[in-house]
């Protein structure tokens, strides 16, 4: 386990460096926001496009993989809603908490870290997890909150969802990459080198931006945030592992799926919470606590994956 911890430690050290730079205000908040935007629209999108465009469709799409990840995630999502309702929360707040329980930082942390640790073969499974998170669960949370506010479903929701998907550069870059792969289009050497050079900025930039974004977050409502962090870091990967085993997912993609499920709560959950004005402090606290705890929990999960 020590060897795995030492392999993951540099990634979390980059997060810590970003936190320290922003905490001392050497890197001001507006700089962190612009760095996040740069990584989101350029290096990370270039990395996702390059992976998708150079992979066979079969390396990304696997019905058993999709079914297992969805089944394991939906179980924890339903548990998150049930616990929220048991605590007397309205459905919109319960759904936002459930979103924290299953949406990990796959884009900024998972893609660069898991591909680096598990090899380029991990790119396909990681992209599939990211697609499910962005398309299925983002749609689910938006529909539930909008329906709760409007007193029911309306046709206008479909247009809003479509605009949101089209405006997300991660979805656009993966979609274009998959089209490129499906048509078996070659990537000219200069284009491939350009994407490779730009992609290289994704890992340090994304991790530094994660750390910088943690500054200013306070662990308010700690009991709820600890529960959400526990659900995300422990229950989610455990549920996905059981689903993968039950449905006979091949060992390597199952391991990548479980590792992706073990990632801390994603920053885009906070963006959603802010946008809708729902459970903002709880979500912020869960991101802070889960990111700090993941230094150990992700190491344990990767150790178990390697062992079993």
Q: What are the pLDDT digits (tens) for 26-69?
A: 999 889 889 999 999 999 999 999 999 988 877 788 999 999 99
Residue 162 pLDDT exceeds 80:
no
- Where does residue 184 fall: left (phi above 0), alpha (psi -120 to 50 degrees), or beta otherwise? left
CB atoms within 10 A of CB 182: 12
CA distance linking residue 94 with residue 80, whole number of Å: 7
- pLDDT in the model for residue 151: 64
Nearest Cα to Cα of residue 149 among 278, 253, 287, 40: 278
Please tell me what DSSP assigns to residue 233: I
CB atoms within 10 A of CB 225: 24
Output the domain CATH number for residue 164. 1.20.1530.20
What's the mean pLDDT in 123-147?
90
Q: Calculate the alpha carbon distances from 102 to 204, 233, 242, 246, 289 in Å.
A: 25, 9, 15, 19, 15
What's the mean pLDDT in 143-165?
71
| Model confidence pLDDT, tens digit, residues 175-211 | 999 999 989 888 899 999 999 999 999 999 999 999 9
- pLDDT in the model for residue 80: 97
Q: Is the dihedral of CA 75, 81, 85, 87 positive or negative?
A: positive
CA distance linking residue 118 with residue 290, whole number of Å: 22
Residue 153 pLDDT exceeds 90:
no
| Model confidence pLDDT, tens digit, residues 235-267 | 999 999 999 999 999 999 999 999 999 999 998
CA distance linking residue 134 with residue 165, whole number of Å: 8
- Where does residue 161 fall: left (phi above 0), alpha (psi -120 to 50 degrees), or beta otherwise? alpha
Q: Are 178 and 57 in contact (CB under 8 A)?
A: yes
Domain coverage including residue 11: 2-307
Q: Are 94 and 279 in contact (CB under 8 A)?
A: no
- pLDDT in the model for residue 73: 98
Residue 166 pLDDT exceeds 80:
no
Residues 6+ apart with CB under 8 A from 184: none
Residues pairing with 265 in the sheet: 104
- pLDDT in the model for residue 182: 87
- pLDDT in the model for residue 155: 62
- pLDDT in the model for residue 67: 97
Residue 156 pLDDT exceeds 70:
no
Res. 157 pLDDT band, cuts 50 70 90: low
Which pair of structure tokens corresponds to residue 175? Answer: 């979609």
Residues 6+ apart with CB under 8 A from 240: 68, 69, 72, 73, 257, 258, 261
Q: Are 259 and 125 in contact (CB under 8 A)?
A: no
Total number of domains in the chain: 1
CA distance linking residue 258 with residue 64, whole number of Å: 14
| Model confidence pLDDT, tens digit, residues 2-11 | 888 999 999 9
Task: List the alpha helices (DSSP H) in the chain.
Answer: 2-23, 29-41, 43-53, 57-60, 63-86, 91-102, 111-118, 123-132, 138-150, 156-166, 169-182, 189-199, 202-214, 222-230, 236-246, 251-261, 267-276, 280-307
Res. 291 pLDDT band, cuts 50 70 90: very high
Residues 6+ apart with CB under 8 A from 97: 80, 81, 83, 84, 89, 224, 228, 279, 282
Residue 87 pLDDT exceeds 90:
yes
Nearest Cα to Cα of residue 170 among 44, 32, 256: 44
Q: Calculate the alpha carbon distances from 262 to 106, 206, 265, 283 in Å.
A: 10, 18, 9, 17
- pLDDT in the model for residue 250: 95
């Amino acid at each position: 386990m020590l060897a795995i911890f030492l392999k993951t430690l540099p990634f979390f050290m980059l997060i810590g460096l970003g936190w320290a730079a922003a905490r001392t205000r050497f890197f001001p908040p507006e700089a962190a926001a612009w760095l996040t935007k740069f990584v989101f629209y350029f290096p990370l999108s270039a990395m996702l496009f390059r992976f998708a465009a150079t992979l066979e469709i079969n390396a990304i799409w696997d019905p058993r993989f999709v079914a297992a990840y969805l089944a394991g995630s939906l179980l924890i999502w339903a548990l998150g809603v049930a616990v929220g309702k048991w605590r007397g929360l309205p459905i919109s707040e319960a759904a936002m908490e459930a979103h924290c329980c299953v949406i990990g930082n796959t884009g900024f942390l998972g893609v660069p870290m898991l591909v680096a640790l598990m090899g380029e073969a991990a790119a396909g499974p990681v992209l599939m997890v990211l697609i499910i998170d962005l398309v299925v669960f983002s749609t689910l949370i938006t529909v539930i909150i909008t329906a709760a506010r409007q007193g029911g479903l309306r046709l206008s929701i479909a247009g809003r969802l479509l605009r949101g998907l089209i405006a997300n550069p991660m979805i656009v870059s993966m979609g274009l990459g998959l089209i490129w792969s499906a048509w078996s289009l070659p990537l000219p050497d200069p284009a491939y080198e350009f994407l490779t050079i730009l992609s290289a900025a994704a890992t340090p930039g994304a991790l530094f931006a994660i750390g910088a974004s943690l500054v200013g977050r306070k662990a308010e409502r700690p009991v709820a945030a600890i529960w959400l962090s526990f659900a995300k870091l422990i229950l989610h990967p455990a549920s996905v592992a059981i689903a993968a085993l039950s449905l006979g997912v091949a060992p390597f993609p199952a391991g990548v799926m479980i590792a992706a499920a073990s990632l801390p709560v994603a920053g885009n959950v906070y963006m959603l919470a802010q946008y809708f004005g729902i459970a903002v402090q709880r979500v912020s606290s869960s991101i802070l606590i889960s990111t700090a705890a993941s230094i150990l929990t992700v190491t344990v999960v990767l150790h178990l994956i390697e062992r079993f």
